[in-house]
Amino acid sequence: MAKMLIADGVISSSTDYSLYHGTTKVAEVEQNAIRVQGDLIAENYIVSSSVTYMTSSVASGSTMFGNSGDDTHKFSGSLQVSGTVANESYIIGTNVGLGTTNPVQPLHVITPNNGGIEIDATLGAPTLFFDIPGNEQGRIYFQENDSLLGSIVYESTGTDYISFKAVSNTERMRLLGTGKLTVGGNFTNNSGVFNIAPGSGTDPSMYFEQYTSSTGGTLGMIGFGNRAVDGQLAAIYAMNDGATDSAYMSFQTEVTSGALAERLRIHSGGTVEFKGANQKISGSASSTGSFGTLRIDMTEDEIDETANELRTRMTFDSLFEQTDMMIWEISDSYGSLHEMVELVSPSWTIEIPRRIR
């Protein structure tokens, strides 16, 4: 074993450039490297220049790369960082990029296809937090080639609400903290729970559209109920009226301890039909006004053809308790009066005789 001499920073030896612990070689000084046979342990390890590659075994201790902010460190392969609750892993810097070398936001992610950010929890509910300072906004922006298209904004500068914006980031819908929702472009009046308030020049509208080949299917429904008692107490239905291109309107109500039932139907041709037995048109018991005159207009020929088969019966409640007579006028197209029929019984029943001439 030869001796290795170090003089003025120069290592020299006649034959052997190795370091020994006793007679055991621990390191070998090569022309461009120092090769350590065992572990290399440093209390404070600083790498201030480039590192071509480094292999290491798992060991305790701290490692520092670089000594200034302009140092660059590159890792090939996978990078795994782990920590504990008391010693969390973190990155301190201005902007961090994933998939980009030029991040323009604190966290900038670029994916080549349809990838994104996934939050996957093994226990509990995955959560994305927006911690907003007082009187500020929480925002999600949607851009195309760095041009802002739309956004979802939580506003906390006054009355809290969530704003949904589209097309040049114009507000289209607003959900107030009170539970009221307004759709359109006018958000100054939110009097209802659901408000349709488009901008000037646009008619407020609601459209129900069904896609069906049924001739008796439901096209749309508006329901009314009392959640404390019954889920549905009244409803308005639009139904196909025997064909895919026609519809009728059905009005339904529920009586006490009863079930929802149809009371009135407006057919596609305009006919109004009262559904069910004993349906009535009634007014107040204290009403003093006249119910009016029921006028049937027919030509002379139509009267001759139909009068013999016409027998109409109508029942009224107490609408005409203060009158003795209900007048029906049957006239032709020239306005000639053909018949006047008086009230004929205390049951408020009006009968038109078989022959009207």
Same domain, 192 and 253: no
- The answer to whether 310 and 356 have CB atoms below 8 angstroms apart is yes
The whole-angstrom separation of Cα 308 and Cα 120 is 81
**Structural domain harbouring 324:** 294-351
CA-CA distances (angstroms) from residue 184 to 126, 142, 200, 201, 203?
33, 20, 10, 12, 10
Contacts 24+ apart (CB under 8 A), 68-77: none
Residue 326 within any structural domain of the chain: yes
**Structure-derived torsion over alpha carbons of residues 264, 268, 269, 274, reported in degrees to the nearest 10:** -10
Same domain, 101 and 85: no
Same domain, 145 and 238: no
Same domain, 65 and 12: yes
- The answer to whether 19 and 29 have CB atoms below 8 angstroms apart is yes
List the Cα angle 299/301/307 in 5-degree steps.
90
Residue 105 φ/ψ, nearest 5 degrees: -130, 165
What pLDDT shows up at residue 352?
43
Interacting residues of 33 by C-beta distance below 8 A, sequence separation 6+: none
- The answer to whether 262 and 276 have CB atoms below 8 angstroms apart is yes
The whole-angstrom separation of Cα 219 and Cα 210 is 5
Q: What is the amino acid identity at position 311? A: R
| Cα 112 to the center of its chain, rounded Å | 28
**pLDDT tens for residues 243-290?**
999 999 999 999 988 899 999 999 999 998 988 776 766 655 554 444
Same domain, 24 and 8: yes
Greater confidence (219 vs 65) lies with: 219
The whole-angstrom separation of Cα 59 and Cα 337 is 114
**pLDDT tens for residues 174-189?**
999 999 999 998 888 8
Same domain, 107 and 65: no
| pTM flag (> 0.75) | no
Residue 285 within any structural domain of the chain: no
Mean pLDDT, the chain, integer? 76
Q: For residue 348, is pLDDT > 70?
A: no
Which two tokens mark 234?
Answer: 């009244």
Interacting residues of 198 by C-beta distance below 8 A, sequence separation 6+: 184, 185, 186, 204
Same domain, 134 and 154: yes
Same domain, 78 and 120: no
Q: In what order do the strands lie in the sheet with 24-29?
A: 18-21, 24-29, 34-36
Domain end marker among 167, 201, 235: 201
136-140, 265-269, 323-327: least confidently modelled range: 323-327
DSSP helix/strand/coil, 307? helix
Closest by CA to 239, choosing from 272, 267, 271, is: 267
Number of domains in the chain: 4
- The answer to whether 232 and 260 have CB atoms below 8 angstroms apart is yes
- The answer to whether 248 and 239 have CB atoms below 8 angstroms apart is yes
The whole-angstrom separation of Cα 339 and Cα 357 is 7
Residue 357 within any structural domain of the chain: no
Domain end marker among 68, 90, 112: 90
Residue 163 within any structural domain of the chain: yes
**pLDDT tens for residues 12-50?**
655 677 888 888 888 887 877 888 887 877 776 666 665
The whole-angstrom separation of Cα 49 and Cα 41 is 19
The whole-angstrom separation of Cα 270 and Cα 220 is 19
Residue 283 within any structural domain of the chain: no
Which two tokens mark 16?
Answer: 């052997």
Same domain, 244 and 328: no
List the Cα angle 158/161/164 in 5-degree steps.
130
Interacting residues of 28 by C-beta distance below 8 A, sequence separation 6+: 17, 18, 19, 34, 35, 37
Closest by CA to 252, choosing from 264, 241, 240, is: 264
Domain end marker among 243, 274, 305: 274
What pLDDT shows up at residue 39?
80
Residue 288 within any structural domain of the chain: no
Residue 209 within any structural domain of the chain: no
Closest by CA to 307, choosing from 351, 259, 341, 357, is: 357
Residue 206 within any structural domain of the chain: no
Same domain, 121 and 174: yes
Same domain, 40 and 18: yes
Q: For residue 123, is pLDDT > 70?
A: yes
The whole-angstrom separation of Cα 44 and Cα 47 is 10
Same domain, 103 and 187: yes
> What number of residues does the chain have?
357
Q: For residue 300, is pLDDT > 80?
A: no
